[in-house]
């Protein structure tokens, strides 16, 4: 199966997926909305095709999403993986890739959608926190959940320590979700996730 990964910055989740060397998966391209995204360097070093669709070059969200979709479609991917991609996508874009669009969010959804999740978890005083891989549907950060990982919140945690603890788990569960998809075990059926016991 061929995969396109979208990044905006550091790209550590993309790196974890690439390094997982998932049998049957081919990373066709890494695409960024920011020309200076660090993740692009790693991808290029790995010999993966890279592309930039700079959101600043487009008049509005629709125009950007159309250009982004075209750039993705050039690789005809079976799966599109959002890995720290920091642009809100239009409904049209999401529908076009429905069922083959995954995102990772640094909280236990449905808790803490949106930004600054670690800070908000600390403020709320929760004892567990984590990360969620989900299929992307038009409503922000609330698509059907594929896999979650839980970490404890410890006394004395600050945002940075908590984020680092969560990130370790992100790097484990995102490759796992991609492996399931590539094995044909994972699919979206309306608003439900189906995860088969055996590779299909």
Can you say which residues are annotated as belonging to the binding site? Answer: 11-13, 61, 103
C-alpha distances (whole Å) from 33 to each of 8, 56, 65 are: 6, 9, 10
Residue 11 touching ligand GRF (CB under 6 A): yes
Backbone angles phi, psi at 102, to 5 degrees: -115, 150
Q: How far is the CB of 101 from ligand GRF (least distance, A)?
A: 14
Nearer to ligand GRF, 4 or 83 (CB): 83
Which CB, 100 or 105, lies closer to ligand GRF? 105
Give the position of tokens 């600054």.
116
Q: Contact with ligand GRF (CB under 6 A): which of 13, 32, 90, 137?
A: 13
CA angle centred on 36, ends 34 and 39, rounded to 5°: 90
Q: Are 199 and 184 in contact (CB under 8 A)?
A: yes
Among 4, 9, 65, 182, binds ligand GRF (CB under 6 A): 9
Provide the minimum distance between the beta carbon of 84 and ligand GRF in the complex, in angstroms, as a whole number. Answer: 3
Distance linking the first and last C-alpha atoms of the chain: 13
Q: From the list 104, 109, 146, 178, which residue makes contact with ligand GRF (rule: CB under 6 A)?
A: 104
- From 174, 175, 199, 177, select the one nearest 188 (Cα to Cα): 177
Q: How far is the CB of 55 from ligand GRF (least distance, A)?
A: 16
């Amino acid at each position: 199966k061929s995969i396109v990964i979208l990044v905006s910055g550091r790209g550590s989740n993309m790196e974890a997926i690439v390094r997982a060397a998932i049998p049957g998966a081919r990373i066709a391209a890494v695409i960024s909305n920011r020309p200076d995204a660090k993740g692009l360097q790693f991808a290029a070093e790995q010999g993966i095709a890279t592309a930039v669709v700079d959101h600043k070059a487009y008049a509005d969200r629709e125009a950007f999403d159309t250009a982004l979709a075209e750039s993705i479609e050039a690789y005809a991917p079976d799966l599109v993986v959002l890995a720290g991609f920091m642009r809100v996508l239009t409904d049209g874009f999401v529908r076009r890739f429905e069922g083959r669009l995954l995102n990772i969010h640094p909280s236990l959804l449905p808790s803490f959608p949106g930004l600054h999740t670690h800070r908000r978890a600390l403020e709320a005083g929760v004892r567990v926190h984590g990360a969620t891989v989900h299929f992307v549907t038009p409503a922000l950060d609330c698509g059907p959940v594929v896999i979650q990982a839980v970490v404890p919140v410890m006394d004395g945690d600050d945002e940075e320590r908590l984020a680092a603890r969560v990130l370790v788990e992100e790097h484990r569960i995102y490759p796992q979700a991609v492996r399931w998809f590539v094995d044909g075990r994972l699919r979206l059926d309306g608003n439900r996730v189906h995860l088969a016991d055996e590779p299909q």
